[in-house]
Structure 1
Amino acid sequence: MTTTFPLAFTTTPSRAVRAEAEREAILASPGFGDHFTDHMVSIHWTVAEGWHDAQVNPYGPLQLEPGAAVLHYAQEIFEGLKAYRHADGSVWSFRPDANAQRMQRSAVRLALPQLPEADFIAAVEQLVAIDRSWVPTAPETSLYVRPFMIASESFLGVRAAQAVDFHVIASPAGAYFPNGVAPISIWLATEYSRAGRGGTGAAKCGGNYASSLLPQAEAYAEGCQQVLFLDAEERTFVEELGGMNVFFVHADGTVVTPALSGSILEGVTRSSVLALAEDRGHPVQERRVPIAEWIEGVRSGEITEVFACGTAAVITPIGRLKGPGFEVGSVDAPAGALTMSIREELTDIQYGRRSDPHGWMRRLA
């Protein structure tokens, strides 16, 4: 194996860079995941050569053999992080080291090679540097960065692929929920599980999200924005939403979130919320949370706030939980005070509006 670190990147600028007027029109109303920047990053890996051929190229279609392992055995992983424009025009990311480390953990579970943390961060820096003009400036906007790794070897045998591609693309992003920060409704999935013991729930891989799409469609049909999954064994304990972790605020100020169980994704925002709550002196608990505790706690007033968190949505208050034959809470209730205060503190750190005591921010450009 001839890999050397850190990797050296070669750059081929796009000849089809969007005109400023077109780019500004997109940035005025970016949506989420609807538009992509002018360039992308690609790094290749083989058993013989290790990681090599790091490139910044024009954004465009990938070329894959029909027999590529990713198309048949779903051997792939991904990450999601954001680039934020600060008031002085500089561009920063939030805890990219945590994303790099989580991708390494996901790679182990999906039998993929681990990309070194320094090369992961360098790939993000390279893309943001060349597409810096795509980082929006309006409130609640950012450049969403999507690193992903796929098994590109053309081989139909069932084994770990011996050729892999890593890419990074980016998309300007507005608010994740079009109606802004307002309490949402959650649908309790009783017939489906997101992941089970020994499965891939703790890895950030596409299969976990694919399995959530049918129950997510049920949630939409029930007038809810997200779906909640319980543990696969007992169907008793809260795990996570389709794409976010869950938190509960109790009347005594205790902040509770389901403990990582091997089937729950270890969210970067999740760990950040825990740290900020502890900074404020709130007792913090990571433990198993029965669904009955959520239902009865809201009804009795013992649970005063519920919220979800993730990179895309940051922090979103949950107003109502609905399931077959029941519902608790109300979307008309105001968002919780602690929910919105922690959200404000977190986003202020991300956008450079207040100090960063934990050293979470990294300048990209």
Structure 2
Amino acid sequence: MSQFGSVFFPEMILARFDGESWSDAEFVPSDKLTLHPGAHVLHYASTCFEGLKAFRHPDGRVAIFRMDQNIARLAQSSALLSLPEFEPAQLAEMITTAVARYADKIPTPPESLYIRPTHIGTEPCIGKAAAPSLESLLYVLLSPVGDYFAGGLKPLRLLVEQDQTRCSAHMGMVKSGGNYASAMFPTMAAKKNYKADQVLFAPGGDVQETGAANFLLFDGNELITKALDSSFLHGVTRSSILTLARDRGIKVTERNLTVTELLERVQANPNCEAALSGTAAVLAHVGTLISDGKEYTVGTGEAGPLVKSLREELNAIQWGQAEDRHGWLTFIS
């Protein structure tokens, strides 16, 4: 099995902004991209991207999950990075055109097509450390993928980090490569020193997110997760899970959650569950929290019934096995 996201269809679709207007979108080989060595993105990290999926349904049609939300978030990220503005309809057409081109090659569930729209600053100028790129490139990569957890779902181990931050607080809501880069060193250290799978960043005791996913706590009939602010990514999967939970009558509480409260709840309720949500992983159970050198088992330490059933419900909607009650799917064929 290939590494998740390492296989690409032979073409991608792209459009360029030359400082005045956008070019028409065109298909080009996906294994080549020419940039000037002084391109803004290479020096000042003017880059943002999205991750969304397309699924083949039992009737043969292909559906993209929550494309409008991912496009809106990319537009927001672009604006916060002062990248040239693009029309959401333009990107929507690029995505649907690219997916339609390879519709017959999209695998059946549990495999899917991972879609990676990317926006980068391309102006060749190394004197713009405090100024935006006036030129940019918008492109869409397509990657057929299997399950993110190739060896099967297993409970995750999270190191709770209260001293370091994933990224600058005002940049957390931007899906930018720089944010992932800043989380890489502490994550690698956590894997080496604690055999942790991820770091749960909680600067000053404020539980935020891991390096690549949102954090959710399920305690009884209540789902607790941090309220949206600029410090962490506003996940589309997070939003979807919260909606499905509300549909079930689960109390959804979006508020600040301290490390102290988190650990107290985990210890007090043997049926407590915790999970990470994201496009690639969907909903992954957290089995262990590591804080100040001590390990805390979440629930039984194994996948809990609520997290499992919510993951299955979301997958069923994506795979065309359950009703799309909220209009989340865009059909291509």
TM range (shorter): over 0.9
Measure the CA separation in 2 of the matches of 1:31 and 1:174. 9
Whether 1:46 and 2:26 are equivalent positions in the alignment is no
Residues 299-351 of structure 1, C-alpha deviations (whole Å, 9 max, x = no match): 11177110110001000010101133111016963311111111111000000
Residues 103 and 314 from structure 1, CA distance in 2 versus in 1: closer, same or farther, beyond 3 angstroms? Answer: same
In the alignment, is the contact (CA less than 8 A) between 2:15 and 2:22 conserved in 1? Answer: yes
Task: For structure 2, list consecutive stretches of 5 or more residues without a partner in the other structure.
Answer: none
Aligned-pair identity in percent equals 38
Instruction: Give yes or no for contact 2:270–2:298 (8 Å, CA) kept in 1.
Output: no
Shift of 1:228: 0.8
Per-residue CA distance 1:148-176 (angstroms, 9 max, x = gap): 01111101122111110001111111111
Note the 1:192-341 alignment, pairs <5 A: 192-197=164-169, 199-221=170-192, 222-231=194-203, 235-251=204-220, 253-301=221-269, 304-329=272-297, 333-341=301-309
Q: Does the aligned pair in 2 maintain the 1:31–1:174 contact within 8 Å?
A: no
Q: Are 2:217 and 2:223, in contact at CA under 8 Å, matched by a contact in 1?
A: yes
Consecutive aligned runs of 4 or more in structure 1 exceeding 3 Å deviation: none
- Aligned residue in 2 for 1:143: 113
Contact 1:250/1:302 (<8 A) preserved: no
1:60 to 14, 31, 37: 31
**In angstroms, what is the RMSD of aligned CA positions?**
1.6
**Alpha-carbon displacement from aligned partner over 1:253-305 (angstroms, at most 9, x marks no partner):** 01111111211110000111111111111111000000111111111117711
**In structure 1, which of residues 128, 131, 134 is the aligned counterpart of residue 99 of structure 2?**
128
Distance in 2 (CA, whole Å) between partners of 1:57 and 1:340 is 40
Aligned to 1:9: none
TM-score (normalizing by structure 1): 0.87
Write out per-residue CA displacement over residues 124-170 of structure 1, whole angstroms, 9 at most, x where no aligned residue: 11111112233112x42111110101111101122111110001111
Unaligned runs of 5+ in 1: 1-28
Aligned to 1:344: 312
Alignment partners' CA distance in 2, 1:57 and 1:161: 23
Equivalent residues in 2 for 1:98-177, closer than 5 Å:
98-137=69-108, 139-158=109-128, 159-177=131-149
Check whether the contact 1:248–1:303 (CA below 8 A) recurs between aligned residues.
no
Alignment-derived partner of residue 71 in structure 1? 42
Stretch deviating more after TM superposition (156-165 or 183-192) = 183-192
Contact 2:272 2:299 (8 Å CA) reproduced: no
SS in 1 for 2:309: helix
Residues 330, 296 of structure 1: alpha-carbon distance in 2 compared, 3 angstrom cutoff: closer
Q: C-alpha offsets along residues 177-199 of structure 1, whole Å, 9 cap, x if unaligned?
A: 222222111112244211333x2
How far apart are the structure 1 equivalents of 2:168 and 2:36?
32
Q: Secondary structure at the match of 2:274?
A: strand
